[in-house]
Structures are given as structure tokens and as C-alpha cells.
Amino acid sequence: MLDALTLDQLRTFVTIADSGSFRAAASKLYRVQSGVSVAIGNLEAQLGVLLFDRSGHRPVLTAEGKLLLSNARDILLRVDALRAKARGLGDGVELELPIAVDTLFPIHLVGMAIVQMRTIYPSVTVRIVVEPLGGPLLALKEKRCALSIMVGEDFRDPRITFEALSAVAQVAVVAAHHPLANQDVSHAIGVLQLADHLQIVLADPTRVSEGRDFGVISPQTCRVNTQDAKHALILAGVGWGRLPHWLVSRDLAEGRLVRLRTNSLGREGEVVSEAYLAHRLDEPMGPAARKFAEALVQLNASSAPAPSV
């Protein structure tokens, strides 16, 4: 009978599928292998289907097992989220609030939200890590932070929930004394012209985006690990690249940098991405995290985007 299904059976099923064997699953679940085998046997009997083909050296998911695996994952995720929410209702104030921030997001808005949070919870220590690309997602997955601020649509995980915050514009720029700055402004700069010059590219410190590039056009690249390094190298005239508009607006206004008018990187060299506040579904948000999130959402709602120039 399906009513007799247990969460333990479903968790055992998912763990075997993820680890590749009954023995490895037993080790992860801190159980004996025979107990894992019995749990799966009972689950198969109750469902009326075989979940694993055991004829080979390792168990292999059957066609039915593959179809039911996603349902089992979904049930466990919802149960974990329910437990996390219940724990959060009774939790006290956090001792520390660790936050991962995408390097493209305006850090001063994070600071303003922290100030508001600490007016209510002054004893909470805040730890900020600023990372590009897959860094904020990995920090959440590895439970190194309670909240992440992520930019763009490239990094997702079903265990993480996202709330849209604001738009973040990136613009293609180059130093005023760089050869690309002297191009005829009456014509858009083409891919071949950009490829003739070194592109400064921000590298992902994680393996989340391994084998992928984002907005890389030139075969000549200089890869850096921080936005500040990228900014400094572009200012020095080493090469060209995209930077968040909020970071370079003063450089553009004062003539140290110029916009690259190219349609190869968005219209007029500008691309706009959505920023999101993210947290794990299976981990409760404490009072300080909730206050910070509330303040950040309000700040972004009331902050008009800077005009592109």
C-alpha cells in the first residue's frame, strides 16, 4: 500500500541513486548494507515496480526507477523545507550572518541593508564574501552562507529559492588612451575589431561554470580573479572588458574610460541582468537574515537605476 511509504525509504532510494551502490549508500546513511537492501525491497514491493536492476556489479536504475527518482527528490525537498521553516520559527537571533555577494552587485546597497539590520540586532556579526559567477551559488550549496546575492540566470539549483531584487547593467569599456577608444564613433565596433585586442575576463573561482565562457569574444584574454583587478587593468589600458555600470559611472563621467559602441555585447555594448536574493529551501532564515533580506528588497525597490551614459 502506498500509504505505508516512509521518508526513510525515499531517502534511501535517492541516496543509492546518487552514490551508485548499496554499500556506498549504507555508509552515507550510517546503516548496515542489509538494512538498506531491506528498505529498498520494501519500497519496491509497496510501489509494485523494480527500482534497480541488480543483475550487474552495481545497481542500475530501471526505467521506472528513473521516472520515480525525480518525484522522490521533490518529496524530500518539500519535507526538508517544511522542517527548516518550522525550525526557523523557534530559532533565536543568529550569532553570525554570512552573506555571499556576486561581484556585479552594488556592494554599497549590501552595506545599507546591514546598517538597517544591525539597528535591531546589533550583536550579530556579519561576514561578507564577494565572488564572481558560480561562487555565490556554491557558497549556498556548501552551506558557507545563509544568503547569497546572485546576478543573472546562469546558475540555478532546485534546493535554492530566488527573489528578484533589481537590474544590473554591464557596459563594455576601455581606457580613454586605448586604441579602441579612437575608433570612428559613427560606426559600431565589430567582432573582428574587438578580437584584435586583449579582453580582460573575470574567471570563475569554482568549477560550477567549468568549460563555459560568458561574453568572451577575443581569442586574446587576460583572466583575473577579482572585479577590482579587472577594473584596474582596463583603466591602465591593458585591454577592454565589461564592467558593472555602477562601478564605472564616475570613470565614464570624468573621461578615464569610454564606452565601446558595439552590438556584439548587447545593444550599444550594454547588457542588463537581474539580481536575486537567494537562500536554501532546507535551511531556516534566522531573524537577522530575515531583517537583512527585507531591508535589501526595500532598498532596491526604492533605488532608481543609474542612467547609462
Mean pLDDT of 57-74: 88
292 pLDDT band, cuts 50/70/90, is very high
pTM, to two decimals: 0.66
For the ranges 102-116, 149-163, 294-308, the maximum mean pLDDT occurs at 102-116
Q: Is pLDDT above 70 for 2?
A: no
Q: Residue range 128-156: average pLDDT?
A: 88
87 has pLDDT over 70: no
What's the one-letter identity of residue 300?
A: N
Least confident of 83-97, 160-174, 281-295: 83-97
pLDDT score, position 309: 42
Banded pLDDT at 308 (limits 50, 70, 90) = very low
Third-level CATH fold of 168-273:
D-Maltodextrin-Binding Protein; domain 2 (3.40.190)
Q: How confident is the model at residue 177 (pLDDT cuts 50, 70, 90)?
A: very high
Q: How far is it, in rounded angstroms, from Cα 3 to Cα 242?
A: 56
pLDDT score of 3 more than 90: no
Mean of the per-residue pLDDT values for the chain? 85
106 has a pLDDT exceeding 60 = yes
Q: What would the mean pLDDT of 150-154 be, rounded to a whole number?
A: 85
Predicted local confidence at residue 229, as pLDDT: 92
**96-165+274-302 CATH:** 3.40.190.10
The pLDDT of residue 154 is 79
* Within this chain, domains 2-90 and 168-273 share the same CATH topology: no
pLDDT of residue 232: 94
Which CATH architecture best describes the domain 2-90? Orthogonal Bundle (1.10)
Predicted confidence band of residue 186 (pLDDT cuts 50, 70, 90): low
209-241 pLDDT, tens digit per residue, is 666 767 788 888 898 888 899 999 999 999 999
307 pLDDT tier (thresholds 50, 70, 90): very low
Domain ranges of the chain: 2-90, 96-165+274-302, 168-273
Query: Which has the minimum average pLDDT: 6-15, 39-48, 75-84?
Result: 75-84
pLDDT band for position 245 (cuts 50, 70, 90): very high
Q: Which of 108-112, 183-187, 262-266, 269-273 has the lowest mean pLDDT?
A: 183-187
pLDDT at 138 over 80: yes
